[in-house]
Structure 1
Amino acid sequence: MMAADAHPTQPLPEWEQPPAPRRRRRAWPWIIALLIVVGLAVVAWFVAEAVARDLVQQTVKQEIRERLSLPADHPIDVAVPGVLIPQLLGGSLDEITVSSEDVPVGEYEGDVTVTATDVPIRQGADMGGATATVTLDEEQLRGLLSAVENFPAETVSLAEPDISVATELQLLGAGFPVGVTLAPSIADGDIVLTPTSFELAGAQIDASQLSEQFGQLADVVVRDWTFCLAEYIPAGVTLTDVQVDGDVLVADADVDGGIVTDPALQADGTCD
């Protein structure tokens, strides 16, 4: 018989509890938080963009009103395409379009649209360049052409693609009404009105027939009319095209990019 202590009694093993599984952190709260942060950043960006755009537009409007001596409430539209803040950080605006109606052109008025590119936001730098469009209705064109000596500006009418005027030739004490159709063009920066057809007392007639009947008296209607606009616009602006579009006259011009820094280009031009 074996001794009782030959096989000592081993303590019963304690049941080992398996380690508690690690709780997985759910990703959804983080994703939601990230989206909220991104959303707030986007909102802040658009708020900043809106503030910057409004500041640029108001600054441009104020500057134009001051330079042209326009009333404080004179309507001016300013459009800057694209996202504005990167352009401001880059130091220039890629493009800006400014338009307004009834803008003084010398002593007269016209509707003006200017589109400029690479416009610096700091002083002392030239812009890339610009184009300008001046639109004149019949009344505005009559005012402008009234400066041309002996031109019957008060009779001007517009019908695409021509300008029409009416006058009267006097012969032996009798008056003969003459209607003239004029085609507008640009020559050396001046507006030129060239007769294309004539109407004498309601009947069509050509220039040679008119000259035969009235001699030198007809010279006043068979001639070209040249109108120099240079003295009414800055020297840095050059007329490039003119045409009748519907019932308005549209004149296009190129603007020298140096006009923003060069006083000589900002000054009114001269007519020979």
Structure 2
Amino acid sequence: MSADSQPTQPLPDPGAQWVLSSPTPSPRRRRRWAWIVALIVVVALAIGAWFAGDAIARSIVKQTIREQAITQLSLPADQQIDVELDGAVLLGLIVGNLPEVRVASDDVPLGQLTADISVVAQDVPVHGGGDWSGAHATATLDEAQLEDLLATLDDFPADTVEIDAPDVAVTFELNALVTKVPVGVALTPRAENGDLVLSPASLRIADAEISAESIVQQFGALASTVVRDWDVCIAQYLPAAVTLTGVRVEPDAVVADFEIDSAILRDASAQENGTCS
């Protein structure tokens, strides 16, 4: 067979070269991945902005609480006040309340007295006019601060006060003819109708425990200052919305617990100090 009689094969089509090469990624798939990456970036930026905004809001709210505490309580401008806020502050401002606010300060002036104060309040309204779900305060008095408080009582030997957990120890002097007999009294504190009450738990003369009946038999009417309860009105030092609910003696301090009515947020009379009859 001659070359002229052999069938002629067609030349390869240049347009078909793509069949031999690697497939090109689908534009649709590329666009889909681009949107996912963009979404991740946007979410990351939004989260970062949220936390940045929350940090700024937290700082502003803390500063505002400090300034209000100093103003409302007439505290010195340099009074150290620690403020802690739980939860997302920015979200709390949006919904209208802060989940939990904790405020603490040492040596807070309460009239002529001082005490270390801490306050915890839940669901605190930020726009005014609302109620919180609960608020409690704790006042801690060391021996010197307790002495200042008890010095307001007539005929009470406050300069002999000592903290002797679970009681408060004090020494009375009873006149026996030409001599004075020191009587040691352990007083147990309690809260009663919003007042602090100190009741004698035990009595001692010359390191020997003695009963209340024996004291009365020996000293008669003079023993009335030893065997009696001592009522300490503290309403004059506190806003009317603050009520004493419990007292305990710890190794180095007397700790008093208070409940705070949310009326203090909006009622001027609840913000004013109470009175003692």
What TM-score do you get using the length of structure 2 for normalisation?
0.88
CA–CA distance in structure 1, aligned partners of residues 159 and 45 of structure 2: 62
Could you tell me which residue of structure 2 aligns to residue 218 of structure 1? 223
- Amino acid across the alignment from 1:103: V
CA–CA distance in structure 2, aligned partners of residues 157 and 223 of structure 1: 18
Q: 2:170 aligns with which of 146, 161, 165?
A: 165
Which stretch of structure 1 is more off in the superposition, 125-134 or 18-27? 18-27
Offset at residue 19 of structure 1 (A):
7.1
Relative to 1, partners in 2 of residues 1:23 and 1:181: Cα closer, same or farther, differing over 3 Å? same
Could you tell me which residue of structure 1 aligns to residue 251 of structure 2? 246
Could you tell me which residue of structure 2 aligns to residue 3 of structure 1? none
Could you tell me which residue of structure 2 aligns to residue 146 of structure 1? 151
Could you tell me which residue of structure 1 aligns to residue 3 of structure 2? none
Work out whether residues 126 and 261 of structure 1, in 8 Å CA contact, stay in contact via their aligned partners in 2: no
Question: Does residue 196 of structure 1 match 2:194?
Answer: no
Secondary structure (helix, strand or coil) at the match of 2:217 reads helix
Could you tell me which residue of structure 2 aligns to residue 108 of structure 1? 113
Could you tell me which residue of structure 1 aligns to residue 87 of structure 2? 82
Could you tell me which residue of structure 1 aligns to residue 24 of structure 2? 22
Q: Aligned pair count?
A: 264
Could you tell me which residue of structure 2 aligns to residue 38 of structure 1? 43
Q: How far does the alpha carbon of each residue in 1:111-135 deviate from its partner, in whole angstroms, 9 at most, with x for none? A: 1111112211113333333111111
CA–CA distance in structure 1, aligned partners of residues 258 and 195 of structure 2: 11
Offset at residue 197 of structure 1 (A):
0.7
Q: How far does the alpha carbon of each residue in 1:231-253 deviate from its partner, in whole angstroms, 9 at most, with x for none? A: 11111111110010221001111
What TM-score do you get using the length of structure 1 for normalisation?
0.90
Could you tell me which residue of structure 2 aligns to residue 178 of structure 1? 183
Offset at residue 230 of structure 1 (A):
0.9
CA–CA distance in structure 2, aligned partners of residues 82 and 54 of structure 1: 13
Work out whether residues 145 and 227 of structure 1, in 8 Å CA contact, stay in contact via their aligned partners in 2: yes
Q: How far does the alpha carbon of each residue in 1:87-131 deviate from its partner, in whole angstroms, 9 at most, with x for none? A: 110011121111110011221000111111221111333333311
% identical aligned pairs: 45
Which stretch of structure 1 is more off in the superposition, 134-143 or 121-130? 121-130
Q: 1:71 aligns with which of 63, 66, 76?
A: 76
RMSD: 2.2
CA–CA distance in structure 2, aligned partners of residues 247 and 162 of structure 1: 11
CA–CA distance in structure 1, aligned partners of residues 236 and 103 of structure 2: 22
Q: 1:271 aligns with which of 263, 273, 276?
A: 276
Q: How far does the alpha carbon of each residue in 1:197-238 deviate from its partner, in whole angstroms, 9 at most, with x for none? A: 111122211111111111111111111111111111111111
Structure 2 segments unaligned to the other structure (5+ residues): 1-6
- Amino acid across the alignment from 2:268: P
Question: Does residue 136 of structure 1 match 2:138?
Answer: no
Structure 1 segments unaligned to the other structure (5+ residues): 1-8
Which stretch of structure 1 is more off in the superposition, 61-70 or 179-188? 61-70
Offset at residue 182 of structure 1 (A):
0.5
Secondary structure (helix, strand or coil) at the match of 1:49 reads helix
Higher helix content, 1 or 2: 2
